[in-house]
Structure formats: structure tokens, C-alpha cells
């Protein structure tokens, strides 16, 4: 992530419930103001 792509594949994720929090930031990794953020929860079988 951080390269402007619209997708990413996580490999080797352990089974169970996980939470991913995405924060949109500028070119020097400073979050936008106001924050643009989203959270997803997913389960790996």
C-alpha cells in the first residue's frame, strides 16, 4: 500500500477474525484533515 493502487493481497494471514483500518494520507504520510478513514472486519477460514 502507499503506491496509489486500488487493491492489495495479504498473504499468510492466520485463520480468525481480523480488522483492517485504512487512513487516507498525503504524500508524506500525514492523514488528511478531517480524517478520511474506514474500517472493515473480515474472517479468514
Predicted pLDDT at 22: 92
Domain boundaries, the chain: 1-45
pLDDT given for residue 38 in this prediction: 96
Number of helices (H) and strands (E), helices first, in the chain? 0, 2
**Closest-CA residue to 3 (of 36, 29, 33, 32):** 29
pLDDT in tens, 1-44: 667 788 889 999 999 999 999 999 998 999 999 999 999 999 99
Looking at residue 1, what is its pLDDT?
65
Q: Locate cell 499468510: which residue?
A: 12
Q: Which residues, including other chains, have CB under 8 Å from residue 41's CB and lie 6 or more apart?
A: 17, 18, 19, 20
Question: What pLDDT is recorded for position 40?
Answer: 96
Amino acid at each position: 500500500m502507499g503506491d496509489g493502487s486500488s487493491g492489495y493481497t495479504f498473504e499468510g494471514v492466520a485463520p480468525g477474525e481480523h480488522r483492517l483500518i485504512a487512513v487516507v494520507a498525503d504524500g508524506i504520510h500525514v492523514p488528511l484533515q478531517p480524517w478520511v478513514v474506514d474500517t472493515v472486519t473480515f474472517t479468514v477460514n
